[in-house]
Each structure stands twice: as C-alpha cells, then as structure tokens.
Amino acid sequence: GPGPGPALPAVRLSLVRLGEPDSAGAGEPPATPAGLGSGGDRVCFNLGRELYFYPGCCRRGSQRSIDLNKPIDKRIYKGTQPTCHDFNQFTAATETISLLVGFSAGQVQYLDLIKKDTSKLFNEERLIDKTKVTYLKWLPESESLFLASHASGHLYLYNVSHPCASAPPQYSLLKQGEGFSVYAAKSKAPRNPLAKWAVGEGPLNEFAFSPDGRHLACVSQDGCLRVFHFDSMLLRGLMKSYFGGLLCVCWSPDGRYVVTGGEDDLVTVWSFTEGRVVARGHGHKSWVNAVAFDPYTTRAEEVATAAGADGERSGEEEEEEEEEPEAAGTGSAGAAPVSPLPKAGSITYRFGSAGQDTQFCLWDLTEDVLYPHPPLARTRTLPGTPGTTPPAASSSRGGEPGPGPLPRSLSRSNSLPHPAGGGKAGGPGVAAEPGTPFSIGRFATLTLQERRDRGAEKEHKRYHSLGNISRGGGGGGGGGGGEKPSGPVPRSRLDPAKVLGTALCPRIHEVPLLEPLVCKKIAQERLTVLLFLEDCIITACQEGLICTWARPGKAGISSQPGNSPSGTVV
C-alpha cells in the first residue's frame, strides 16, 4: 500500500559491472579499490529499512555465489524504507559508482559507493511528490539524467547536478494524449524536476527503456502498457491487461517485443513493431512480479536449421530438452509446415518470469507463434462475426501454441477476411488488402450486449462473467485497479467491457496461449527479482534470500545432476 505500512517494500536487486575481465579489448580488469572486494560486479539490494552492498557473483570461471554474510557496506534508514535503486552502468568505473535509491515516502537519494561524501537528496521536503517511489532508472548513456516513477502515477525527469526548488514546482503543459500528459517545470534557474509525466490511472508500477534508448515502456495499475517515443513524448503503442494492474515490463534484446506480467497471472507478449498482442503465457498461479529476457539464449540464427538453432543455444536447462520439441527451430520434424520465413532466419526468444506464487517460469517464443501460418483445418469462428472464418487455430488448448489467429498484416483489425482472400496474409510483411479495415473493426464496435447476444451459445462462460463484472462496476470496476468509479468514467480510463475482444486486449482464445518450458517453485516467499547473466540466473524473494542458479553445462557454482535447475541458496 502507499506509505510505510505494515507491508515491506518488495526486495529489489541492482547490479553494476565494472570492466569486463573476459571480453577482448577491454584491457586489464580494473584494480579494485581497497575494501570493495575483488571481482567485476557490485550488487545492491534492499530489505526492509536496510540497503546492502556486495561484490557481484557470477563471472566466467569464478566459483563463488554472493556470500550474504559478507556485505561490503550496509545502510539503515530511519522513518522511510528504500523501495528501488539503480546503478549508473554508463559512468561506472573504479573511481565512481553512482547509485540512485528511491524511498517509500517519496525521496530519491543519489550516492557514490566510492566517493562516500557525494550524497544528495531529491524531493527531500516531499514538495514534488508525496507518494512512494515505485521505480528508478538512469537515462541510457547519461551521466546525470534519471527518471523516477511514483505511486501517484507521475514520472519525473531529474538532473543529478541541479538542486530541487524550494517551493512546490509549477508546470506548463507540453503534450497531451490518450491517457497521459507531459509537463515542463517552470523555473528561471535550472531546478529539479525538469519535467513531469502523468501516465494512466493509479500508480505507475514499472518502466523500461528500449535497447536503443529511444522508447519508454510504462506499466500501470490501470492495466495499461504504454510505449512512448521518449524525446518526442508521443504515444507509440497501447495494450491492456486481461484484468488488474500490470506490475512489470521488459524489452526483447532486439527491441521488437515487450513482455509484461501482472495481476491477471499472465505474461503477455506484445509486438512493438506490429502493435498487437502476439501471445500470452499461463503458468503462474498468482501475480507475476518480474519478467526478463535471457539475452544469452535468445538468438536470431542466420541459417534456419534445427541443428543451427539447437547447437547455438547454450543455456539450456536439462529438463527443457525433454519438454520442448517445438523450440528446436523451424526446421525440426515436429513443427508445422513452414510459411515464408522472415529475413532474420530462425528466431527463438527465451524469457523468464517470477511470481507471487514463488514459481520461476521459463518461456520460449518461437517462430510459429510470432509469424502464424496460413489457416489449418482446426479453425474456430469468432462468436458474432458473420460470414468470416478467422485463419486461426484455437490456442486455448493445452500446451500447443497453435498458429495465432491474427496475421501480422491485420494486426489492428478485428474483422478478419475469409481465408480464401486472407491466406497469403499469414506470411510476414504482406500488406493488408485494400478492403481490410485497419480500424478495430466491425466485431469490436458492437455493443457489449449485442455481442453477448449474438455469441451467447458459443462464447466461453468466463467471458460472460468478466462482461458482467465490468458492466456492474459502472464500466470501470473490472480493470480499474479495485477502485469503484462514481459518476461518468474519466476519459483516460479504458472501459474493460469495451476493450475486451479488441486489438488492445484480445480474448483468451484469440491469441496463442503459451505453456512454460519450466515452472518450478524455488522459494518460500514471493519472488521479486529475476536477472539473467552469462553463466547464471539470479532470483530473490521477499525473505531477502538471493539465489544464484548456475546454467547447465557451465563450470561453476554448484551443478547438481538431475532435472532441477541447479542453484546455490545463498
């Protein structure tokens, strides 16, 4: 809840790399300042009122995990609790390691692990924002600019070298759009904050910059993922959760896909390039608190052969090999007939998720899901669409990620053409026929009542109940993060009843439902951290236990034989 209530802030972990001893051309590993332990990483994590610092763990050839009994440094705060933090990887060096720390009462602290006297406090008097800091990030490749998001739903841009104003800041509106507005702070001298973004309804839970640093993905308690072009402040994409708030977000290493996790217990894969939900993953039994791509297993092969795809993917869990015939690359015998491949060759994205249910899941995003094939025999008609058969396989069945119903060329359209005309559209990059509406389409614009009447017999019971809840809640109760709106719904809130079944939030059977490759309970308390490194995976739970899991086949930490992802509990 807001403020330092009885619930402790989630344990978060930040990691900074100092020099790359392994990489060619990086020169010698830097000499280590006295008292900082050897090794190339620093780790910071919060637990209750405390902030701990450790030397990092996995480096190639190193045998150690994080020894929780030997922190380099520890800070205890009174009256407020650390909620999030971020190292500046861009400026990190032996003589400076900059860290930002956000607090439950709204302040942000800047400190340097090496220059101990350079601490600064922002929003100290809480004149800028009185709600807790939910997330913090340095701007990519910036020495001094950072963003802080708050439970108020506001996002502030700061410059470390500027002071904060001594009075509450005054703002002028810069940009306004669907569910967001951006303000510039009025000030004669350079003062913080430089700008304020008001995004969505309710708390802004997390945000992430795209790998190229140009786009910013935000997830909010109103259940929306919003992707902005950061410099121009334009909304570039919007997606709505199945229900409830979205809690975490990450980008694929190539910047094409965004994965979110949230209170609908699902992981959702959204294509940034196509502006549509590509797949959902169902494996968690409770909220999904952390999502991350594994950049060391995600590969785009030049040659689309099974051997190439398999041999290249290093970090396989033993267990996965048995469980995932699909992921062996498009050329494998069991795969569906291959549609024209995209130029990138065979692509497999691997990502992980960690949840409130103490489970860690691994997922593979394979070509058959990303680029659905032309229709096969197993099709299912969308209730209420007269005279159209979507080129779709019902993907609500088991673990079978059947070809997705929406060809990428029709990403924003909900009235799908007849397969006779639309069969070619299954191949990537084919433009939609002129006759295809690019709007949300006829099906989506029916009123909820018409839609329910027309599709009543065929429609799954679950959607009835969702529709009823949404209507009963005055149009906002279903996904409004638990608050019952009174009177007319404000414009920025998307009415869940109208959104379900549109491109913003497809129904469950309208997009492939992925099954996890691995789904394992790895903690006693809810998991809050997931990090993929070259030779290990780091997870942390609310008890403050940080676990380092060796990747199979890597020399190191403690590889146990057998099917479990091996690991050291530290």
Over residues 196-203, mean pLDDT? 96
Band (342; pLDDT cuts 50, 70, 90): very low
Q: Which of 228, 255, 227, 249 is nearest to 239 (CA)?
A: 227
Residue 286 region, left (φ>0) first, then alpha (ψ -120 to 50), else beta?
beta
* Tokens, residue 516: 């996890």
Is it true that the peptide bond before 29 is cis, omega within 30 degrees of 0?
no
Q: Which of 276, 442, 294, 436 is nearest to 354 (CA)?
A: 294
Task: Out of 342-351, 394-403, 452-461, 540-549, pick the least confident.
Answer: 394-403
User: Cα(447)–Cα(437) distance, rounded to whole angstroms?
Assistant: 19
User: Cα(470)–Cα(498) distance, rounded to whole angstroms?
Assistant: 9
Task: Out of 275-284, 465-474, 515-524, 531-540, pick the least confident.
Answer: 465-474
Torsion of CA 43, 48, 50, 55, to 10 degrees: -20
Instruction: Please give the single-letter amino acid code of residue 217.
Output: A
Asked whether 378 and 467 are in contact (CB, 8 A), the reply is no
The fold of the 200-300+347-372+498-555+563-569 domain, in CATH, is Methylamine Dehydrogenase; Chain H (2.130.10)
Asked whether 112 and 96 are in contact (CB, 8 A), the reply is yes
User: Cα(429)–Cα(253) distance, rounded to whole angstroms?
Assistant: 21
Say which CATH class 6-20+35-146+160-170 falls into.
mainly beta
The 10s digit of each residue's pLDDT in 507-556 is 999 999 999 999 999 999 999 999 999 889 999 999 999 999 998 876 44
DSSP letter for 18, please: -
Band (59; pLDDT cuts 50, 70, 90): low
Q: What is the 3-state secondary structure (H, E, C) of 67-94?
A: CCCCCCEEEECCCCCEEEEEECCCCCEC
> What are the residue ranges spanned by the domains of the chain?
6-20+35-146+160-170, 200-300+347-372+498-555+563-569
For residue 332, the model assigns a pLDDT of 31
Q: Would you report the helix, strand and coil content of the chain in percent, each value rounded to 5?
A: 10, 35, 55
The 10s digit of each residue's pLDDT in 90-126 is 999 888 999 999 999 999 999 999 988 889 999 999 9
For residue 63, the model assigns a pLDDT of 52
What global pTM score does this model have?
0.70
Pairwise pLDDT comparison (304 vs 175), residue with the higher score: 175
User: Cα(433)–Cα(435) distance, rounded to whole angstroms?
Assistant: 5
